[in-house]
Amino acid sequence: MELISEVGTSTATADSPYDARTRRSTLRRYLMCPPAHFDVTYSINPWMNPGKPTDQSIAMSQWQRIHDQLVELGHTVDLIPPLPGLPDMVFAANGATVYGNQALVARFRFPQRDAESAGYLDWFAAQGLSVRQATRENEGEGDYLAAGPWLLAGNGFRTDRRAHVETEEYFGRAVIGLTLVDDRFYHLDTALAALDERTVMYYPDAFTPGSQAILRELFPDAIIATSEDAEAFGLNAVSDGKHVLMPEGASNLTAQLRAAGFEPIGMDVSELLRAGGGVKCCTLELHDQVPGQ
Ligand code: ARG
């Protein structure tokens, strides 16, 4: 597959080695869960309204397009079987954090999602991974995002700050704790996306002033989202280093991504959003695993 972007405006400066032609995609491995039991039967985030009907077949086709787009880009997508009675299991990002042969399975904040953990424990064990369930509330890649050597770790709504210590020790990766303050952006992956090893995009107002200062320090060249971008769930994105699959409608963010040499691909996630989820929520990256094997 094509690894180097040929189009786009150069954004390289004396200080920044990046320009549109140097964005590189690397092949990844992901885990997804078909929304066979998708519904909104309870409310655990402000986007969920159990009074409004949902359409499972629309959710399935929106999910399928995300899946097919990833496969078309050359990535490998594994599937975990959806379990009945668990309408949020489609949001596989929350199931675990995975590096190499180690999986740290979620301990969910709300009892409605509790039983998902058993499904993930079984699935990773069947793959031969060394697996353990987090001892504190920990919602997997919803709150842990890899950016270069760091593991950016959200807390404030779901993952317990004390869980960060366990995650850091388990993987031997430096955790940078970030505190979320706006309940519409209750997981880190709704407020920030890692685009490559050194580039992130985020919505500053979703974080405490202290966490904003940390982000400014670590990522001076970050792409900054507007409130409209964040409300369109534009930060709930999956990047392979070049292609950025993201909910459509975040027009400011899309323009900035193009100018920085990325290739944004807008996805319709209107039905999934009724549960407060978008592209990234549906996608758990199995880091350091060889695609296609
Ligand atoms: N309804 C789900 C919940 O509130 C949505 C999870 C979205 N997942 C994510 N990675 N942000 O738990």
**pLDDT tens, position by position, 269-283:** 999 999 999 999 999
Instruction: Give the model's pLDDT for residue 292.
Output: 81
State the DSSP string of the chain. Answer: ---B---S-----SS----GGG-B----EEEE---TT----S-SSTT--TTS---HHHHHHHHHHHHHHHHHTT-EEEE-PPPTT-TTTT-GGGGEEEETTEEEE-B-SSGGGTTHHHHHHHHHHHTT-EEEE-SS-B-GGGTEEEETTEEEEEESSSS-HHHHHHHHHHHT-EEEEEEB--TTS-SGGGTEEE-SSS-EEE-GGGB-HHHHHHHHHH-TTPEEPPHHHHHTTTTS-EESSSEEEEETT-HHHHHHHHHTT-EEEEE--TTGGGGT--TGGG-EEEETPPTT-
Please name the amino acid found at residue 151. Answer: L
Instruction: Give the model's pLDDT for residue 19.
Output: 59
Q: What percent of the chain has pLDDT over 90?
A: 90
Closest-lying ligand 1 atom to the alpha carbon of residue 189: 11
pLDDT-based confidence at 290, cuts 50/70/90? confident
Instruction: Give the model's pLDDT for residue 273.
Output: 98
Ligand 1 center to 91 CA (angstroms): 6
Mutate to test the pocket of ligand 1, among 91, 97, 182, 271 (most ligand atoms within 8 A of CB): 91
Active site residues per annotation: 187, 281
In tens, the pLDDT along 138-168 reads 999 999 999 999 999 999 999 999 999 999 9
Write down the domain spans for the chain: 23-287
- The answer, yes or no, to whether residue 131 has pLDDT greater than 50, is yes
- The answer, yes or no, to whether residue 85 has pLDDT greater than 70, is yes
pLDDT-based confidence at 289, cuts 50/70/90? confident
Beta-carbon contacts of 172 under 8 Å, excluding residues fewer than 6 positions away, are none
- The answer, yes or no, to whether residue 248 has pLDDT greater than 90, is yes
Which residues contact ligand 1 via a Cβ below 6 A?
A: 44-45, 48, 88, 91, 93-94, 113, 142, 187, 189-190, 275-277, 281
Ligand 1 center to 242 CA (angstroms): 25
* Residue with CA at minimum distance from ligand 1 atom 1: 275
In tens, the pLDDT along 194-238 reads 999 999 999 999 999 999 999 999 999 999 999 999 999 999 999
Query: What is the Cα–Cα distance from 54 to 41, expressed in whole angstroms?
Result: 10
Instruction: Give the model's pLDDT for residue 15.
Output: 47
**In the predicted model, what is the mean pLDDT of residues 61-76?**
98
**In the predicted model, what is the mean pLDDT of residues 238-243?**
98
| 245's tokens | 């699959």
Ligand 1 center to 281 CA (angstroms): 6
In tens, the pLDDT along 37-60 reads 999 999 999 999 999 999 999 999
Mutate to test the pocket of ligand 1, among 41, 90, 94 (most ligand atoms within 8 A of CB): 94
In tens, the pLDDT along 3-43 reads 434 333 444 444 454 556 689 999 999 999 999 999 999 99
Task: Report the CATH architecture of 23-287.
Answer: 5-stranded Propeller (3.75)
Mutate to test the pocket of ligand 1, among 187, 233, 274, 279 (most ligand atoms within 8 A of CB): 187
Ligand 1 center to 13 CA (angstroms): 38
Instruction: Give the model's pLDDT for residue 67.
Output: 98
Instruction: Give the model's pLDDT for residue 22.
Output: 81
